[in-house]
Chains A and B, each alone.
Chain A
Amino acid sequence: MSVSPLANPSPRLNTSFLSALISILIAFIFGPPAVSRLLGLTFPASPWRDTFAAFFLSITLEALPFILLGTLLTALMEVFLSQDILPRLTARLGVWGIPASAIFSPLFPICDCAVVMVVRGLLRKRLPLPHAVTYMLAAPILNPAVFLSTWLAFQDYRYAVFRTLGGLAVSITMGLILTRVDPRKALRPEFLATLQPDGPLVPLPVTISEAATVPCGDCDHEHHHTGSNLVIGIASHLSKDFLEMMPFFLMGVFMASLFKTLLGAKMLTQLGTDPLIGPLVMMAAAFVLSICSEADAFTAAGFSEFNFISHQAFLVLGPMLDIKLVLMYRSIFRGWFVVLLSLGICLSVGAYVVLLGIW
């Protein structure tokens, strides 16, 4: 069943609503000190507000270059990658394409913020949904920098190795499960509208195009990127994708900062550290703290009161699922799919750590 963008009477409602909501919330929190500052008045300092601002701006500042990198990769894919390469490749590999998407993800070593942007581009280039999600979940963990930082943080290769194995197992499991999901029902109508009408699972007719002269996947007409037009094309794709993602990202950062300020890691760890509750607590901590996959191992190592299994729960879940990522996933997927994906990830990570515990 093809879902037309016209099926949604107001395709921009979500982005617009989200933008309005976060703008109002921010104005509510930071409006009074801003007005006071503007008028030269003294506004009572609030440690809570300062900490919240520090969290919000630091996560945004840290992630911004990576989001731009992901967006740039996507823009380059849009311009240079032929529409038929990925569908042909996945058709040839069959179901083995799913593990291949995970195993070869280190070829595009990116972190969790950037991967969402890249997956948008891959879906536009007709990579099937299960393959794209497998890549999305695996890439931030199988990243060599993440492997190295995990090793350094714990000074023990087992943490890095089992984290990688966990990333592989969970991402492939989720990919295989998603072969039963219709991508047209899973993708947001606004995002679906950017794909060609027959959707990402239907193979495209094979077209031979020159590297820099390809049809733009987003448009209902063809134009060609050559010379200065090529630069304009890349800049245009980059700016559009970046601007579309940022409201979701900022909302995710807002919620993560709020939780971090109100709860903090300490409060979570006080819930319990024993081997049964520990993994659950650490999964909750990974979800709330929303730390970049390249730095989260150092935070995990700081929770020395937890055991190896609990650390693995934190390390495997964190790059796949956190508050910020849930909101970023919403820029691609429908709400029910994000809920399903989140549950699937939690259960798969849970199963993985249980198996580790038994072993």
Chain B
Amino acid sequence: MNFLNKVKGTWLQIVPWVIWLGIMLGGRYYRHYVAGWQVWLLLGAFFILSLVTFIGFLTPITEEACCGSRQPGVKPSWAEILVHVIPLFIFLALGPTSISGSEAGVGSPFKPAVLDQRSAKLSPYDLSADKTPPITDQAKGKQNRWVPLTLLDMYSDLEAKGIADREVEVEGKVHVLSKKDKTELLKTMGLTGVQMTLYRFVLVCCAADSRPMAVVLEGVLPKHFVNDGWYRVRGTSSKITKKTLVKSPTLSISAKEIVPIPEPPGPYLSLW
């Protein structure tokens, strides 16, 4: 009876949180939702909740019923129990998801203005992609024709080293612009003739604060193209020379190859 009381009480309410956090950490699914550095916070939360669950299971029910606004002896309703299953339920229902460009309005994202604020020389940011040693042109020729870069690398390299007119390999989502998108692009950036973009979301803390970053894409789309699907693009990068409304430079890639790829384990680029 005591066990049943526990099962319909605090214990059953906290356990879904522990399971959800466990799945997020164990499967490394947290990368679909938050920045990598938050893993330590999530581990701490998992530890605390696990400890509370363990203690709650061992504690006599009389002790448990004492504190809190719930009166002693009054058990939570089923709705109050179900509400704690919601994050786990959503995750199990859909699996890991990421923000869709069409829904987030990827019409004229290009370089988030936050990157305009910094100079590459004085950058306080630790760009995740910059942690990999740079591939020199000589080394590049030996191992691969294409320089693998992220969109963040491209824009930061543009300021620091001049990324224009290099052969690059970039992964991201390809978005074919609608008529509305084109109008928006003309209005906000003064760009015309753009048919599609290669974009990716850049986050600081979590997906909710992410902003899209893009380059203009030129090339031939593969068969069975899926709008906002994941693709690896190989081509020559260049700086758009025509005068745009925004001061920040805009990049484009003239694609030689657009190949569909599975969604990367970490769909976002992290600013930190």
Q: Which positions in A face B, CB cutoff 8 Å?
A: 5, 11-12, 15-20, 22-23, 26, 30-31, 33-34, 37, 47-51, 53-62, 64-66, 68, 72, 78, 149, 152-156, 190-191, 193-194, 216, 218-219, 223, 231-233, 235-244, 246-247, 250, 256-257, 260-261, 264, 266-267, 289-292, 294-296, 298-299, 301-304
A selection of 15 A-B contacts at a CB cut-off of 8 Å is A11-B69, A12-B80, A19-B80, A23-B79, A30-B93, A37-B92, A49-B94, A57-B32, A59-B208, A64-B17, A153-B114, A231-B55, A235-B59, A295-B206, A298-B271
**Complex CA–CA separation, A249 to B2 (angstroms):** 30
Q: For residue B44, which residues in chain A have a CB less than 8 angstroms away from its CB?
A: 65, 68
Q: Does residue B112 face the partner (Cβ distance < 8 Å to A)? A: yes
Q: For residue B52, which residues in chain A have a CB less than 8 angstroms away from its CB?
A: 235, 238-239, 242
**Complex CA–CA separation, A37 to B91 (angstroms):** 12
**Interface SS, A side:** helix
Q: How far is the CB of B259 from chain A (nearest CB, A)?
A: 21
Q: How far is the CB of B60 from chain A (nearest CB, A)?
A: 9
The answer to whether B48 touches A238, judged by C-beta atoms less than 8 angstroms apart, is yes
0/1 string, B185-208, CB within 8 A of A gives 1: 000000000000000000011111
Q: For residue B24, which residues in chain A have a CB less than 8 angstroms away from its CB?
A: 61
**Complex CA–CA separation, A172 to B255 (angstroms):** 57
The answer to whether B67 touches A295, judged by C-beta atoms less than 8 angstroms apart, is no
The answer to whether A191 touches B67, judged by C-beta atoms less than 8 angstroms apart, is no
Q: For residue A232, which residues in chain B have a CB less than 8 angstroms away from its CB?
A: 55, 59, 63
The answer to whether A260 touches B80, judged by C-beta atoms less than 8 angstroms apart, is no
With known contacts A65-B44, A301-B117, A12–B204 Cβ distance under 8 A: no
* Chain-A contact segment, one of B99-107, B139-147, B151-159, B160-168: B99-107
The answer to whether B67 touches A219, judged by C-beta atoms less than 8 angstroms apart, is yes
Q: For residue A223, which residues in chain B have a CB less than 8 angstroms away from its CB?
A: 66
**Interface SS, B side:** helix
Q: How far is the CB of B271 from chain A (nearest CB, A)?
A: 7
Q: Does residue B230 face the partner (Cβ distance < 8 Å to A)? A: no
Q: For residue A301, which residues in chain B have a CB less than 8 angstroms away from its CB?
A: 113-114, 117
Nearest to A55 among chain B residues (CB) is B208
0/1 string, B71-99, CB within 8 A of A gives 1: 10010110110111011011111100111
**Complex CA–CA separation, A286 to B109 (angstroms):** 20
The answer to whether A267 touches B14, judged by C-beta atoms less than 8 angstroms apart, is no
The answer to whether B77 touches A12, judged by C-beta atoms less than 8 angstroms apart, is yes
With known contacts A58-B34, A152-B124, A237-B67, A23–B82 Cβ distance under 8 A: yes
Q: For residue A296, which residues in chain B have a CB less than 8 angstroms away from its CB?
A: 209
Q: How far is the CB of A189 from chain B (nearest CB, A)?
A: 9
Q: For residue A50, which residues in chain B have a CB less than 8 angstroms away from its CB?
A: 94, 97-100, 103
Q: Does residue B42 face the partner (Cβ distance < 8 Å to A)? A: yes
The answer to whether A290 touches B208, judged by C-beta atoms less than 8 angstroms apart, is yes
With known contacts A237-B67, A243-B14, A54–B207 Cβ distance under 8 A: yes
The answer to whether B14 touches A236, judged by C-beta atoms less than 8 angstroms apart, is no
Q: Which 4 A-B residue pairs are closest in the complex by CB-CB distance?
A: A240-B68, A304-B113, A47-B100, A34-B93
With known contacts A57-B33, A65-B44, A236–B67 Cβ distance under 8 A: yes
Q: For residue A241, which residues in chain B have a CB less than 8 angstroms away from its CB?
A: 68
**Complex CA–CA separation, A235 to B49 (angstroms):** 9
Q: Does residue B51 face the partner (Cβ distance < 8 Å to A)? A: yes
For A57, give its contact among B42, B87, B104, B205 (CB under 8 Å). Answer: B87
With known contacts A16-B79, A61-B42, A51–B100 Cβ distance under 8 A: yes
**Complex CA–CA separation, A275 to B112 (angstroms):** 22
Q: How far is the CB of B150 from chain A (nearest CB, A)?
A: 17
Q: For residue B103, which residues in chain A have a CB less than 8 angstroms away from its CB?
A: 47-48, 50-51, 261, 264
The answer to whether A12 touches B97, judged by C-beta atoms less than 8 angstroms apart, is no
Q: How far is the CB of A140 from chain B (nearest CB, A)?
A: 14
The answer to whether B204 touches A295, judged by C-beta atoms less than 8 angstroms apart, is yes
Q: Does residue B21 face the partner (Cβ distance < 8 Å to A)? A: yes
Nearest to B226 among chain A residues (CB) is A45
Q: For residue A298, which residues in chain B have a CB less than 8 angstroms away from its CB?
A: 114, 204, 209, 271
Q: How far is the CB of A333 from chain B (nearest CB, A)?
A: 14
Q: How far is the CB of B176 from chain A (nearest CB, A)?
A: 14
Q: For residue B86, which residues in chain A have a CB less than 8 angstroms away from its CB?
A: 22-23, 26, 250
The answer to whether B90 touches A26, judged by C-beta atoms less than 8 angstroms apart, is yes
15 additional A-B residue pairs with CB within 8 Å, beyond A51-B97, A65-B44, A301-B117: A12-B77, A19-B83, A34-B89, A56-B90, A58-B32, A58-B208, A59-B206, A219-B66, A237-B68, A240-B10, A240-B67, A250-B86, A289-B208, A291-B209, A298-B114
Q: Does residue B41 face the partner (Cβ distance < 8 Å to A)? A: yes
The answer to whether B33 touches A64, judged by C-beta atoms less than 8 angstroms apart, is no
Q: How far is the CB of A222 from chain B (nearest CB, A)?
A: 11
Q: Does residue B131 face the partner (Cβ distance < 8 Å to A)? A: no
With known contacts A33-B94, A50-B98, A55-B207, A218–B42 Cβ distance under 8 A: no
Q: Does residue B178 face the partner (Cβ distance < 8 Å to A)? A: no
Q: How far is the CB of B42 from chain A (nearest CB, A)?
A: 6
Nearest to A15 among chain B residues (CB) is B80
Among A34, A149, A219, A236, find the residue whose CB has the most chain B CB atoms closer than 10 A: A236
Q: Does residue B224 face the partner (Cβ distance < 8 Å to A)? A: no
The answer to whether B21 touches A239, judged by C-beta atoms less than 8 angstroms apart, is no
The answer to whether B90 touches A53, judged by C-beta atoms less than 8 angstroms apart, is yes
Among A11, A59, A64, A191, find the residue whose CB has the most chain B CB atoms closer than 10 A: A64
